[in-house]
């Protein structure tokens, strides 16, 4: 048995090295992309279902590498969390998004709020609130126009420190959203003590609305729960009118999804602002 295991080990090793090489390349590339400012942000509008107006947008990272091609954030964000680049990425995104939205609001006389995705790892770092103060001072953004989306985490991550950080951010006027709600591991009890403003219902639930009656029951229950906790609701990944109608009927405040718009480049979002006379 021992010798077999030895063989397997030898067979396995080269693969591990290959994996390590790939990771090293990716890490170098991502590091350079960040330094040379070749990462980009696209902005997906969020719509108020009562007024049908754009109230803000979510900033989403885009990375095109000349050799690797388009790298989806779903792939490189977990990697960045693993290799320690996630904090630098988070700061870059906050700066970029805040400066952009401050400019849009100023030039077009708007009150748009930008939502930035922040990794639970990053927000749990000491000094996060100080960094936010710096970004606000640097970009001159009114914190009421800044929102932070944090993915629903495991219960163990809801530490006292994290809750304090979130309280400080909210005291500044920043909106806090719980992203991908319904897919994580937090218990309802935690939701009660976790001081957020908005629940973002994950697309997986929105997708189930149309074919299944149980899908409607689920969405309706999630919206009721949010409202019972005094939270606002954003439904993400809305693609069809039928989904929209169910969400509206059940009192969902905001939606986001391809039905209204894909995430847009700065140029295209500017066009949207100008054309729709917001």
Binding flag, residue 84, ligand C2E (CB under 6 A): no
Closest separation in Å from C-beta 151 to ligand C2E: 6
Pick 136 or 206: Cβ nearer ligand C2E: 206
Is residue 22 exposed (0-12), middle (13-18) or buried (19+ Cβ within 10 Å)? exposed
Q: Is position 72 an interface residue for ligand C2E (rule: CB under 6 A)?
A: yes
Which one of residues 17, 37, 67, 74 is an interface residue with ligand C2E (CB under 6 A)?
74
61 near ligand C2E, rule: CB under 6 A? yes
- Work out which of 133, 140, 249, 258 binds ligand C2E, going by CB under 6 A: 258
CA distance 89 to 226: 31
Total residues at interface with ligand C2E (CB under 6 A): 22
- Binding residue (CB under 6 A) for ligand C2E from 44, 98, 100, 175: 44
The reply to whether 239 sits near ligand C2E by the rule CB under 6 A is yes
Q: Which residue lies nearer to ligand C2E by CB, 90 or 143?
A: 90
For residues 9 and 112, which CB has a smaller minimum distance to ligand C2E in the complex?
112
- C-alpha distance from residue 72 to each of 42, 114, 140 (Å): 13, 21, 30
Select from 3-11, 116-124, 128-136, 264-272 the region that touches ligand C2E (CB under 6 A): 116-124
Tell me whether residue 183 or residue 276 sits nearer to Ca ion (CB atom): 183
- The single residue among 26, 77, 141, 235 that binds ligand C2E, judged by CB under 6 A, is 77
Contacts 24+ apart (CB under 8 A), 199-205: 199/226, 199/231, 199/232, 199/233, 199/234, 200/149, 200/233, 200/234, 200/235, 200/236, 201/233, 201/234, 201/235, 201/236, 201/252, 202/236, 202/237, 203/236, 203/237, 203/257
Task: Between 157 and 180, name the residue whose CB sits nearer to Ca ion.
Answer: 180
* Stretch of residues binding ligand C2E (CB under 6 A), selected from 27-35, 66-74, 187-195, 216-224: 66-74
The Cα 75–Cα 55 span in angstroms is 29
Nearer to ligand C2E, 79 or 190 (CB): 79
The region of 82-90, 104-112, 143-151, 265-273 touching Ca ion under the rule CB under 5 A is 143-151
Cβ neighbours of residue 189 closer than 8 Å, sequence gap 6 or more: none
Phi, psi of 257 (to 5 degrees): 160, 170
Q: Give whole-number Cα distances, 163 to 124, 128, 169, in Å.
A: 9, 13, 10
Q: Which residues bind Ca ion (CB under 5 A)?
A: 117, 149, 179-180
Q: Which residues bind ligand C2E (CB under 6 A)?
A: 44, 60-61, 72-74, 77, 93, 117-119, 179-180, 203, 236-239, 256-258, 263
């Amino acid at each position: 048995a021992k010798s077999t295991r030895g063989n397997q080990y030898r067979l396995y090793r080269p693969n591990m090295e290959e994996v390590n090489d790939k990771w090293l390349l990716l890490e170098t590339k991502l590091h350079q992309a960040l330094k040379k400012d070749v990462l980009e942000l696209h902005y997906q509008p969020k719509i108020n279902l009562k007024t049908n107006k754009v109230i803000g947008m979510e900033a989403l990272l885009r990375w095109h590498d000349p050799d690797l091609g388009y790298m989806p954030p779903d792939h490189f964000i977990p990697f960045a969390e693993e290799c320690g680049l996630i904090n630098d990425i988070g700061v870059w995104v906050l700066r970029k998004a805040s400066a952009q939205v401050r400019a849009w609001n100023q030039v077009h006389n708007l009150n748009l709020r930008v939502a930035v995705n922040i990794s639970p790892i990053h927000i749990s770092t000491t000094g996060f609130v100080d960094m936010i103060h710096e970004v606000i001072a640097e970009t001159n953004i009114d914190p009421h126009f800044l929102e932070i989306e944090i993915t629903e985490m495991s219960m163990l991550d809801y530490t006292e420190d994290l809750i304090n950080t979130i309280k400080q951010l909210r005291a500044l006027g920043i909106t806090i959203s719980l992203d991908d709600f319904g897919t994580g591991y937090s218990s309802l009890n935690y939701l009660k003590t976790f001081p957020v403003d908005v629940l973002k219902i994950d697309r997986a639930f929105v997708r189930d609305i149309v074919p299944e009656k149980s899908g409607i029951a689920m969405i309706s229950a999630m919206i009721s729960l949010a409202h019972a906790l005094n939270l606002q609701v954003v439904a993400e990944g809305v693609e069809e009118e039928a989904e929209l109608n169910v969400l509206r009927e059940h009192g969902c405040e905001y939606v986001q999804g391809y039905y209204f718009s894909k995430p847009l480049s700065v140029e295209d979002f500017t066009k949207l602002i100008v054309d729709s006379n917001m």
